[in-house]
Amino acid sequence: MTENSPSNPRKVIVVNGSPRKNWCTAQILHSARDGARDSGAEVEYVDLYDLTFSGCRSCLACKRKGIANPCKCYWNDGLSELLEKIYRSDVLITGAPIYFGEPAAGFRALFERLIFPALSYNDYSTQFRGRVDTTVFMPMNAPREYYDAHYVDRMNEFFAPMRFLNGKTERIPVCDTLQVSDYSKYDMRGFDGDHKKARHETEFPKILELAYQIGAGRR
Ligand SMILES: Cc1cc2nc3c(=O)[nH]c(=O)nc-3n(C[C@H](O)[C@H](O)[C@H](O)COP(=O)(O)O)c2cc1C
């Protein structure tokens, strides 16, 4: 872990991979941002869905022989600046809501663009020369038992390439989240709104506190 010092603060970048700017993923990441800021880190918060971008276009410019910087995404769009900022950070704290059993599409696009340039097609090692510690929060409707039975293996597989950023990698499932504030207003009989609300009140504050501590670099 990179220590904070006034002359060399930790560089923390926080990326909200949910299209909703104030719901579960965002609230967790706001807390992480606050923890980072209060610890004296240099912190930037980005709402991914404010940017205009696509996933990897398979231009393969990052695999051309003789390029100056192999660990760079050469496709130019609204993601380019963010990718460079992440590569220059000490810590990436991000969150991806789970859609259809996978991280949401915007996050997948970010992941492809961030990690593919790091992957060497010569020997499958990393071409990234820095080190970025990563934490990914994964809010989802699924209860913890469902996550353990059906999602955990595929998340481990999906996120394994995070190791190409050479840092500590951490994933935190956030299960059984509140999806709407008033379930009685929606056709959502598959969910017990009272249960969701009660869980949100007891469990979600613990996740916010955990995010704060992670942001502060205390765990
Ligand atoms: C299009 C869509 C697909 C979803 N698919 C799943 C799913 O497969 N499994 C799951 O547990 N939750 C699923 N959810 C629920 C979200 O993961 C959950 O509400 C999460 O808390 C959303 O994050 P947010 O509050 O930051 O928007 C889905 C939600 C949407 C909108």
- Binding site membership of 20 for ligand 1 (Cβ less than 6 Å): yes
**In ligand 1, which atom is closest to the CA atom of 174?**
21
pLDDT above 90 coverage of the chain, percent = 95
What integer pLDDT is reported at residue 6 of this predicted model? Answer: 76
**In ligand 1, which atom is closest to the CA atom of 27?**
26
pLDDT greater than 90 at residue 207: yes
> Helices 80-88 and 105-115 sit at what angle, rounded to 10 degrees?
60
Question: What is the pTM for the complete model shown?
Answer: 0.97
Q: How confident is the model at residue 1 (pLDDT cuts 50, 70, 90)?
A: low
What integer pLDDT is reported at residue 92 of this predicted model? Answer: 98
**Probe ligand 1: pick from 177, 204, 208, max atoms within 8 Å of CB?**
177
DSSP states of 76-139: -STTHHHHHHHHH-SEEEEE--EETTEE-HHHHHHHHHHHGGGB-TTTS-B---S-EEEEEEEE
* Cα gap 23→28, rounded to integer Å: 9
- CATH architecture entry for 11-215: 3-Layer(aba) Sandwich (3.40)
**16 pairs with which residues across the strands?**
47, 95
170 exposed, middle or buried (CB, 10 Å; 0-12, 13-18, 19+)?
Answer: middle
Mean pLDDT of 109-118: 98
- Binding site membership of 100 for ligand 1 (Cβ less than 6 Å): yes
- The domain ranges of the chain are 11-215
pLDDT greater than 90 at residue 219: no
**In ligand 1, which atom is closest to the CA atom of 23?**
25
Cβ(94)–Cβ(103) below 8 Å:
no
pLDDT greater than 70 at residue 54: yes
